[in-house]
Amino acid sequence: MTAKTLPVDPFDLVIFGGTGDLALRKLLPGLLRRYADGQIREDSRIIGVARDKQTDADYRAKVGEALQRVAGNDEALKAKLPAFLDKLGYHALDATKDEGWEEFAAALKAQGDRIRVFYLSTSPSLFVNLCDRLRAHGLNGGQSRVVIEKPIGHDLASATVINDAVGSAFAESQIFRIDHYLGKETVQNLLALRFANILFEPLWNANHIDHVQITVAETVGLEKRATYYDTSGALRDMVQNHLLQLLCMVAMEPPAALEADAVRDEKLKVLRSLRPITADEISHMTVRGQYRAGAVNGMAVPGYLDELGREDSRTETFVALKAEVDNWRWAGVPFYLRTGKRLPERVSEIVIAFKQIPHSIFEHGAGPVMGNKLVLRLQPDEGVKLWLMIKDPGPGGLRLQHVPLDMSFAEAFGVHQPEAYERLLMDVVRGNPTLFMRRDEVEAAWKWIDPILGAWENQRETPKPYTAGSWGPSAAVALVERDGRTWHEDTV
Ligand code: BG6
């Protein structure tokens, strides 16, 4: 079975940072897949922009090489690759210099009024320059849209500067702040589970839910991103955006309709209801860690400081924290978040842990009655598991078992799950911002994060060490165990 896709209107997509890692690893492969699926029309164009001088042919050859690797043994993708590469062009431009911009603008305008997407896949330090130039050359009107990648600032003040600069060139409705976690299939499925079924919503509150866990674990380390990562750390890199966005999708009230602003209004209310973590609470509400040498998937790996080539970094590669949403629905329900690099496996999941039954009618010998859990697996093996108590099958008395009702999307539907970027890029072309962050959301998230960063800074403690290949510092286990809970394991 193949996914059903509707072709989008023809467009020009300009990727600033067109030779960069994100373009070659995610954006162009995603576009190739959409093209191979028939979603991108033949008269669309993709234009890579970067500073170095090269011809269209050079660029196509470079992208072609990267996409060959992506296509691997996929014959359908390989067959479409030459025609896809034909749609690619290249412009050498420097965001800080005038040279070449006139010609670039003229070439785009020659296509008439069509959808133009400017993807700023560059260092955020260039966002202001790029937006100024796009405006100065009249490329911000009509059906133009701009996509910006995180990090949108490193705190509220710097995020405001970026948002102001982008906002002075483009209207909010033209700005697409991408958080690729919102494009993941399971995240969208959360909307379907919550709002297309009658079963869950009546239970989706503090009366029935004991706590929520959100884990985004990675096995990778610094991945040649030392300069960026060491000035960021896990709280800014992952929690401020991806994990808080997931929390919003779990905690938000039902929007009146699946419309961009209706959804984003509800997410914003959640962000604004997050109880601030004060400096006094920082030690028992948050844990920060940094990996030491160890082994991941049987491979020895160096520690963070060795990878970085410095001895004095206090950047965290792991965070666990307890967040609370101060509103009627969620009063008293902790949201435990954790994310880290060099953990034992790559897994992202959301666990909704329901409360215990109020009274057990079963004898002691039946075994413990465990709380129900709804586990949404974002990656790998996207799917949903609902953990239930059942009777152990067969004779021998009534013994209870905790088992998952398991729905793996790939197995159940046999469909290739599109990568997050594929879906989001097509949403930009369609002009649908539902799965993108609005300015006020980004700023509300920073407003909650800033005091945590400030308290860590004042504490001047070094992050707690953890061995690469472990689940982070033991303090992260203590964070939930102090509350009489444990991190979810698939076998429990
Ligand atoms: C990015 C972070 O936003 O997300 C990276 O900057 C991280 O540090 C990545 O590795 C994780 O994305 P995914 O889709 O691989 O889980």
Which tokens sit at 344?
Answer: 């034992």
Nearest CA to ligand 1 atom 5: 237
Single out the catalytic residue among 154, 211, 242, 488.
242
Q: Of ligand 1's atoms, which has the minimum distance to the CA of residue 181?
A: 14
- Which of 277, 363, 279 lies closest to 321 in space, CA to CA? 277
Angle at 443 between CA 441 and CA 449, to 5 degrees: 105
Beta strands across the sheet bearing 115-120: 88-92, 45-50, 11-16, 115-120, 144-148, 175-177
Q: Of ligand 1's atoms, which has the minimum distance to the CA of residue 216?
A: 16
With a cut of 70, say whether residue 491 has pLDDT above it: no
- Mark whether 242 is an active-site residue: yes
Compute, in angstroms, the gap from residue 180 CA to the centroid of ligand 1. 8
Q: Which of 152, 218, 241, 341 to mutate to test the pocket of ligand 1 (most atoms within 8 A of CB)?
A: 218
- pLDDT (0 to 100) of residue 492: 47
Compute, in angstroms, the gap from residue 341 CA to the centroid of ligand 1. 10
Nearest CA to ligand 1 atom 6: 237
Share of the chain above pLDDT 70, in %: 98
With a cut of 60, say whether residue 3 has pLDDT above it: no
Which tokens sit at 475?
Answer: 């303090």
Q: Of ligand 1's atoms, which has the minimum distance to the CA of residue 420?
A: 14
Which tokens sit at 125?
Answer: 């330090």
Nearest CA to ligand 1 atom 13: 181
CB distance 247 to 337 below 8 Å: yes
Residues having CB closer than 6 A to ligand 1 are 180, 218, 237, 348
Work out the average pLDDT over 326-342. Answer: 98
Separation CA 67–CA 78 (nearest Å): 9
Compute, in angstroms, the gap from residue 57 CA to the centroid of ligand 1. 31
Which tokens sit at 80?
Answer: 């479409």
CB distance 405 to 125 below 8 Å: no
- pLDDT (0 to 100) of residue 385: 95
pLDDT in tens, 72-96: 999 999 999 999 999 999 999 999 9
Which tokens sit at 237?
Answer: 């890199």
Q: Please, which residues have CB within 8 angstroms of residue 241's CB and are 6 or more apart in sequence?
A: 150, 179, 181, 437, 442, 445
pTM above 0.85, yes or no: yes
SS3 397: coil
174: left (phi over 0), alpha (psi -120 to 50) or beta: alpha
Residue 1: pLDDT band (50, 70, 90) is very low
Q: Which letter does DSSP use for residue 124 in this model?
A: G
Which tokens sit at 419?
Answer: 């990568």
Q: Which of 178, 220, 238 to mutate to test the pocket of ligand 1 (most atoms within 8 A of CB)?
A: 238
Q: Of ligand 1's atoms, which has the minimum distance to the CA of residue 220?
A: 10
pLDDT in tens, 20-37: 999 999 999 999 999 999
With a cut of 60, say whether residue 2 has pLDDT above it: no
Q: What is the 3-state secondary structure (H, E, C) of 179-200?
A: CHHHHCHHHHHHHHHHHCCCCC
